[in-house]
Amino acid sequence: AQSVTQLGSHVSVSEGALVLLRCNYSSSVPPYLFWYVQYPNQGLQLLLKYTTGATLVKGINGFEAEFKKSETSFHLTKPSAHMSDAAEYFCAVGRAGNMLTFGGGTRLMVKP
């Protein structure tokens, strides 16, 4: 069984500030980990994924995430927030050939 917990359903940052969205997972097997972004009335867009290899993963739009096995975490960060980053972000855990299990999502708000 696998599950995902995203701490904070809403996160607000100022433009130019650090973005940190938290994700903790549980999985009985080594996981594949994903971050997706969803803009209003749109589908899910893959930001980045960890499947194997380097634990610091870089994605699109300047986002990155680090897989920390000891902490069962996969937090998403971006050094400097932009207004266009305002969206809903979902962390998900999966494994080859299997479904993805999603967290409840974090809505990121960026203040000017």
Partner 1 sequence: EAGVAQSPRYKIIEKRQSVAFWCNPISGHATLYWYQQILGQGPKLLIQFQNNGVVDDSQLPKDRFSAERLKGVDSTLKIQPAKLEDSAVYLCASSLGGTGANYGYTFGSGTRLTVV
Contact positions vs partner 1 (CB under 8 A): 4, 32, 34, 36, 41-46, 49, 51-53, 90, 92, 94, 96-105
* Region label for 41, one of left (φ > 0), alpha (ψ between -120 and 50) or beta (otherwise): left
Residue number with CB closer to partner 1 (17 or 105): 105
Residue number with CB closer to partner 1 (84 or 98): 98
Q: Is 70 in a helix, a strand, or coil?
A: helix
Residue number with CB closer to partner 1 (36 or 63): 36
To partner 1, the closest distance from the beta carbon of 100 in angstroms equals 7
Rounded alpha-carbon distances, angstroms, from residue 96 to 4, 31, 100: 17, 9, 10
To partner 1, the closest distance from the beta carbon of 16 in angstroms equals 28
* H or E, element range at 13: strand 10-14
To partner 1, the closest distance from the beta carbon of 17 in angstroms equals 25
Q: Are 65 and 75 in contact (CB under 8 A)?
A: yes
Residue number with CB closer to partner 1 (51 or 77): 51
To partner 1, the closest distance from the beta carbon of 50 in angstroms equals 10
Could you please report the per-residue DSSP string of 86-112? -EEEEEEEE-TTS--EE---EEEEEE-
